[in-house]
Chain A
């Protein structure tokens, strides 16, 4: 993975010193809260429902074991013993003290991490496919480009005061695991007819109050032109994006207002006009950065490991985990191991300090010291020898990290919700827990098959409810927590926005409602059809009827 050079290290060290000074001035009364707030937000420090919340950047979801151990240490020393992985591959701590934050940032800087630009009207964490570099289906590792964009967008003088936040995601596989079509800019690595590698560019996707699937504005962008083109997009946004209304300030509003065609024209016009001054990444520089992402020293292994195959025959629980959580690796004899942070009835995306330390150890032992974070709030050990999977699984299982539920009904995305977030209207975590318990039987989950349930506690959609197969949105209905159910969303390459199915439910009936929807699907599906396929075939009618047709009590 990328290693800081002296410039990178100086940047974060000086940033820590600067923030330390700002905190001192705040505490001494030389800065008011209004003056200080934007400064602390630019370092990812929010004033939240219980205390300050610190959001730490995990660039393109890649972590070293050393960094994971640092998270564990911070959790123990400065917080309450656990952290939360987010839908942008970042990590959040919920009980941070302002006076401790400079020390925490210094600790992070010592392991090449920071919390810069995880808030504020700037380019946020660059996210990417969690299987980058190891996926069997990818064109090439997209992370060098994610790193290029990260460096370019960090403290960029022209783009530090955008109309609103700006989120960029990258993928290099036909199967999009990074939700690029619902980002402000989505970049999909692709090949043109001449076999050259470049990017397809989507702009104006997003969730929240006004969700959109981003239209494609460029079918093929040569790699070398990436930064110049991004600059053109951001310049058009900076120029024409609204600043009068916080709810209409994202680039998606602009793209929708002028139309994709006109927006494309504006970008191409800006791009052409800036041809002489467009930022370039030299071949040498891209090679230098790519060198950090060279594959590790894989052993030459046979495709099959008989001991592994036997273990799967002898241990059904291990077999289930392999079936569900282990993905194909591009190198023979290796596998991608997904660690579910969604234990049945547990809090999605949370990991305790002890679990983090264990994961760091397992990464060192089994995955060349590297861990990935997924936008669905799970973790990945990307480079595990097939022969090591059993020992890995056993260790994970003992620590409550062995749930064999990747992509199944209990692999739920939930935002922190009203339990943690001052923006929320309703709690999301208890709903996730109860749905997980209701559908948690192994047999039943596997029978249901692929099902993405995503829960947000408010319209800001940090829980991605707009792109859930089943989405749940918490609303406030006359002071009571209520939940809207939406169906048919998807964040992958066939992205779609979920549709509200009908009137909202309360905290008890929403769980019943979800179960009824699931049972309806199972009853109506054709052999091998997933939930999403059935919904797309039949539409909402049969589900509506099952939910509301019998005037179900509790349906609001």
Chain B
């Protein structure tokens, strides 16, 4: 499960019941990337992996993996566009969109 690349990483997954994107933090899985614990050493990663796999087994989450980030003052920022979009929702409309016009 450990990623081949180096640098800080966070653990992310889909919540099993509702599919929401979640991040592993000190209080468990949160929908906010700012809550995510940042792994900076192989031991950090191993610890996150162990908890994540246990939660996969316990049917809390599915598809857990480590994603590369950079540390910023406002929290971890994903390095890839895919992870950015996972964290913030589609770039073309805000999450929670329920307007009536197709814009």
B102 touches A351 (CB 8 A): yes
Bound together, the chains give a CA A266 to CA B17 distance in angstroms of: 47
Nearest B residue to A37 by beta-carbon distance? Answer: B62
Chain B interface mostly helix, strand, loop or mixed? loop
In the complex, A498 Cα to B85 Cα: how many Å? 30
User: Does A306 touch B at the CB level, under 8 Å?
Assistant: no
Kindly state the separation between the CA atoms of A422 and B82 in the bound complex, as whole angstroms: 8
Which of A45-53, A178-186, A284-292, A486-494 is the contact stretch? A45-53
Q: A350 — which chain B residues lie within 8 A by C-beta?
A: 102
Q: Which residues of B contact A28 (CB under 8 A)?
A: 59
Residues of A within 8 A of B26 (CB): none
Cα distance, A33 to B59, chains bound together (Å): 9
In the complex, what residues of A have CB within 8 A of residue B56's CB?
33
Residues of A within 8 A of B74 (CB): none
* Interface residue A427 (Cβ < 8 Å from any Cβ of B): yes
- Is the Cβ of B92 less than 8 Å from the Cβ of A347? yes
Q: Is the CB of A99 within 8 A of B17?
A: yes
Per-position 1/0 for B44-60, Cβ under 8 A of A: 00000000000010110
CB pair B17 A81 closer than 8 Å: no
* B64-103 to A contact mask, C-beta < 8 Å, 1/0: 0000000000000001111001100111110111111111
Quick check: B99 and A47 within 8 Å, CB to CB? Answer: no
Contact, CB under 8 Å: B19 / A343: no
Are the CB atoms of B99 and A345 closer together than 8 Å?
no
Smallest beta-carbon distance A487→chain B, Å? 26
Q: Which residue in A51, A81, A426, A430 is a CB contact (below 8 Å) of B19?
A: A51
Are A80 and B102 touching (Cβ within 8 A)? no
Q: Identify B100's interface contact among A27, A96, A355, A424, CB under 8 A.
A: A355
Indicate which residue in B58, B62, B90 contacts A50 across the interface (CB closer than 8 Å).
B90
Q: What residue of chain A has the Cβ atom nearest to residue B62's Cβ?
A: A33
Query: Given that A47-B63, A343-B102 are contacting pairs, would A99 and B85 also be in contact in the complex, using a CB cutoff of 8 Å?
Result: no
Residue B18 contacts which of A51, A399, A400, A429 (CB distance < 8 angstroms)?
A51
B62, B92, B102: the one within 8 Å of A355 (CB): B102
A33 to B16, CA, bound (A): 9
> Is A467 an interface residue, CB under 8 A from the partner?
no
A116 shortest CB reach to chain B, Å: 20
> Which chain A residues numbered 265 to 310 have a C-beta less than 8 Å away from chain B?
none
Q: Does A479 contact B (CB under 8 A)?
A: yes
Distance (whole angstroms) from the CB of B95 to the closest CB of chain A: 7
Contact B102 A352 (CB under 8 A): yes
Sort chain A's interface into a size bin. Answer: 35 or more
Asked if A49 contacts B102 (CB within 8 A), the reply is no
How distant is A530 from chain B, measured CB to nearest CB, in Å?
28
B103 — nearest CB in chain A belongs to which residue?
A346
Tell me whether B20 is interfacial, beta carbon within 8 Å: yes
Judge if A420 is at the interface, Cβ distance under 8 Å.
Answer: yes
CA distance A33 to B17 in the complex (A): 12
Task: Say yes or no: B79 contacts A479, CB within 8 Å.
Answer: yes
Q: In whole angstroms, what is the CA distance A347 to B101 when docked? A: 11
Q: Give Cα A351 to B95, complex, Å.
A: 16
Chain A residue at smallest Cβ distance from B14: A47
Interface residue? A97 (CB, 8 A): yes
Bound CA span A354–B101, Å: 8
Cβ of A433 < 8 Å from any Cβ of B? Answer: yes
Known: A353-B98, A419-B85, A479-B80. 6 other contacts (CB 8 A): A51-B18, A80-B98, A346-B102, A347-B92, A353-B100, A355-B100
The 5 A-B residue pairs with the shortest CB-CB distance in the complex, in nearest-first order: A51-B19, A81-B98, A419-B90, A97-B18, A354-B100
